[in-house]
Amino acid sequence: MPASPDLLALDGGTPVRREPFPTVSDSSGRRIGAEEEAAVLDVLRSGRLNSTVGQVTRGLEQDFAARYGVPHAVASSSGTSAIHLAVAALDPEPGDEIITTGLSDAGTVLPILAQNAVPVFADVDPASGNLDVASVRDRITPRTRAIIAVHLFGQPAPVAELRELADSHGLVLIEDCAQAYLTATSPDGALAGTVGHLGCFSLQQSKHITAGDGGLTITADDQLARRARLFADKAWPRDTDERTHLFLGLNYRMSELEAAVARVQLTRLDAVVEDRRRTAKLLTDVVSGLDGLGAAGDDGTVYWQFPIFLDTDVTGVDAHWYAEALRAEGIPAVGGYIQRPLYLTPVVAEHVTYGTSGYPLTCPPADALQSYAPGLCPHTEALIGGRLLVVPWNENYSSQDVTDIATAIEKVHRGRPGR
Ligand SMILES: *Cc1c(COP(=O)(O)O)cnc(C)c1O
């Protein structure tokens, strides 16, 4: 007798899907074509591979600034470096505090430590995983210098409110837009990255557009832009004739080869975002109909990946169970997004920074020493612990791909234990 179509693959039933899905890890889930090839060849043949002698990186910066309607974009070597440029541009004093989220890529937090500032973690909104404004407000102290908000999975973080909060306390707001190209932050359409003082983007393999690695930092502030640019180039003021170094900077330059790819990728961005949003809508319609599961509000969301928020009181099983059951059905899925909040990783929790010093985490006066321990951000921990289910997404998903994902989610939802 054939297995019932309802029997979960986890329990020996037939998987919903046997074909692999398009993935951002290779060309199946990417849009990289003849134009990128030609652009890279042009750079190679010119012999000008470094941005200090070529014009392609400067061109990318101009194109990116124009797309965002801001005066300045500064290219760098990664999303992490793009955030490091932003933090360095505001030049914190050692021990100054920067409030951010524990539910992100480490690239959000490492630049804070590298610049000798202290990360302070605020909790997130359980419905989106984005920073909760009230929690940020609670964690402001006289030592706070900046806020780094992440637009998680491309969902708009409440940056208008955070900007107001920042302005009323004299703080700088940095937007981490690594997952949020063309995210609209509000009905009036302000793009993520243009509401704060600085916006930071990544061109790493898995993002909406890629050059393998790479980063971009945007700002409307001339002074911040100048410091960011200098920081990425050894603080060498090449616009003067002096060979000197104005402050402690590094070499975070993007190469012309990466810029050549990125510049073409940028021309594909609008279509990439449109296609991701169109297919995501199909899954949103299905997920929203399932008791105990919630999709992202799709207003301005650009779906770096597709997050599903569980009410585990209703579902009875957590996101880690759903992920395992979905993988058995042939659907890639991850429970929790990351395995632990950033404040519980060794670099932060155990102060594994510079030698055995623990700097900068051990520098502040005793009353300002942070304790990074379980319980610090309960909603963050609940999402990672089992309320957040993540389905990988990309611009090359077909309607059939989404139908298979939806079918599998409905199947495991109906067949979950205890139901
Ligand atoms: C990818 C990512 C980064 C870091 O970007 P890299 O290019 O990998 O250095 C930072 N923040 C978020 C939210 C990211 O998704």
> Which pair of structure tokens corresponds to residue 364?
């502040």
Query: Whole-model pTM?
Result: 0.98
The answer to whether the beta carbons of residues 272 and 31 sit under 8 Å apart is yes
Pocket test of ligand 1: the residue of 108, 265, 334 to mutate, having most ligand atoms within 8 Å of its CB, is 108
Q: Is the residue at 92 inside a domain?
A: yes
Separation of CA 45 and ligand 1 centre (Å)? 31
Domain membership of residue 58 (yes or no) is: yes
- Hey, what are 165's tokens? 């909060």
Cα(196) to centroid(ligand 1), Å = 18
Tell me the Ramachandran region of residue 71: left when phi exceeds 0, alpha when psi lies from -120 to 50, beta otherwise. Answer: alpha
- The CA 313 to ligand 1 mean position distance, Å, reads 32
- How close is the Cα of 129 to the center of ligand 1, in Å? 16
Buried/exposed code over 394-418 (b: 16+ C-beta within 10 A; e: otherwise): bbbbeeebbebbbebbbbbbebbee
Ligand 1 atom nearest 213 alpha carbon: 7
Q: What is the total count of domains within the chain? A: 1
Report the residue among 204, 254, 302 best suited for mutation to probe ligand 1: largest number of ligand atoms under 8 A from its CB: 204
| Ligand 1 atom having least distance to the Cα of 214 | 7
For residue 121, tell me if it sits in a domain.
Answer: yes
Atom of ligand 1 nearest to the CA of 179: 15
Task: Give pLDDT tens digits along the chain (419 positions).
Answer: 556 779 999 999 999 999 999 999 999 999 999 999 999 999 999 999 999 999 999 999 999 999 999 999 999 999 999 999 999 999 999 999 999 999 999 999 999 999 999 999 999 999 999 999 999 999 999 999 999 999 999 999 999 999 999 999 999 999 999 999 999 998 778 999 999 999 999 999 999 999 999 999 999 999 999 999 999 999 999 989 899 999 999 999 999 999 999 999 999 999 999 999 999 999 999 999 999 999 998 789 999 999 999 999 999 999 999 999 999 999 999 999 999 999 999 999 999 999 999 999 999 888 899 999 999 999 999 999 999 999 999 999 999 999 999 999 999 999 999 87
Helices and strands (H and E) in the chain: how many? 13, 11
149: left (phi over 0), alpha (psi -120 to 50) or beta: beta
Inside any domain, residue 414? no
Residues with CB under 6 A from ligand 1: 78-80, 104-105, 107-108, 150, 176, 178-179, 202, 204, 213, 215
Give the number of C-alpha atoms closer than 13 A to the C-alpha of residue 160, restricted to the C-beta side: 9
CB burial string 201-229: b at 16+ within 10 A, e below: bbbbebbbbbbebbbbbbbbbeebbbbbb
Which ligand 1 atom sits closest to the C-alpha of 83? 10
pLDDT at 78: 98
Is 383 domain-assigned? no
Residue 246 lies in a domain: yes
Q: How many CA atoms lie within 13 A of 51 on its CB side?
A: 24
| 49 within some domain | yes
- Residue 271 maps to a domain: no
Query: How remote is the CA of residue 150 from the centroid of ligand 1, in Å?
Result: 10
CA–CA dist 188, 186 (Å, integer): 5
Expressed in angstroms and rounded, the spacing between residue 105 Cα and the centre of ligand 1 is 6
- What is the residue with the minimal CA distance to atom 6 of ligand 1? 79
- Atom 7 of ligand 1, residue of closest alpha carbon: 79
CB atoms within 10 A of CB 9: 22
Ligand 1 centroid from CA 186, angstroms: 23
Closest-lying ligand 1 atom to the alpha carbon of residue 207: 1
The closest residue, in CA terms, to atom 10 on ligand 1 is 107
d(CA 149, CA 190): 15
**109 CA distance to ligand 1 middle (Å):** 10
Q: Where are the beta strands (DSSP E) in 209-317?
A: 215-219, 293-295, 305-310
Please give the distance, rounded to the nearest whole angstrom, from the Cα atom of residue 107 to the centre of ligand 1: 5
Range of the domain at 203: 34-265
> What's the confidence (pLDDT) of residue 92?
97
CATH value at residue 232: 3.40.640.10
Q: Cis before residue 15, ω within 30 degrees of 0?
A: no
